[in-house]
């Protein structure tokens, strides 16, 4: 990535969670649009956090866990799936 212009380093991180209930499968997607940094930054790292840019210009690895959860594709997908699962108790 080093030397590539900023606009050429755009990325979308997606997480899809599938829930199957009584033969019906539903999927729930979380997305985080970002850019890949030219170098690793930060130490609160999981996966590719240290090379993924947060909205503040720092890497995701520079964010506290609470702030990471607000933008994380996995947490977005899980929240949607959880809300759906809660409705299944009424069916």
Give the CATH number, domain containing residue 76: 3.90.950.10
Domain-embedded: residue 46: yes
Domain that holds residue 59: 6-88
Task: Report whether 74 contacts 30 (CB < 8 A).
Answer: yes
Beta strand ranges found along 1-91 (DSSP E): 10-21, 24-35
Determine if the pTM surpasses 0.85: no
Residue 89 pLDDT class (50, 70, 90 cuts):
confident
Given a cut of 80, whether residue 91 has pLDDT beyond it is no
User: How many structural domains compose the chain?
Assistant: 1
Q: Tell me phi and psi for residue 6, to 5 degrees.
A: -50, -45
Domain-embedded: residue 1: no
Domain-embedded: residue 20: yes
């Amino acid at each position: 990535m080093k030397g590539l212009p900023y606009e050429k380093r755009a990325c979308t991180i997606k997480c899809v969670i599938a829930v199957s209930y009584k033969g019906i499968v539903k999927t729930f997607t979380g997305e985080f649009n970002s850019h890949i940094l030219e170098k690793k930054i930060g130490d609160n790292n999981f996966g590719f956090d240290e090379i993924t840019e947060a909205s503040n210009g720092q890497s995701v690895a520079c964010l506290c866990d609470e702030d990471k959860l607000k933008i994380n594709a996995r947490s977005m997908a899980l929240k949607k799936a959880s809300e759906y699962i809660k409705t299944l108790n009424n069916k």
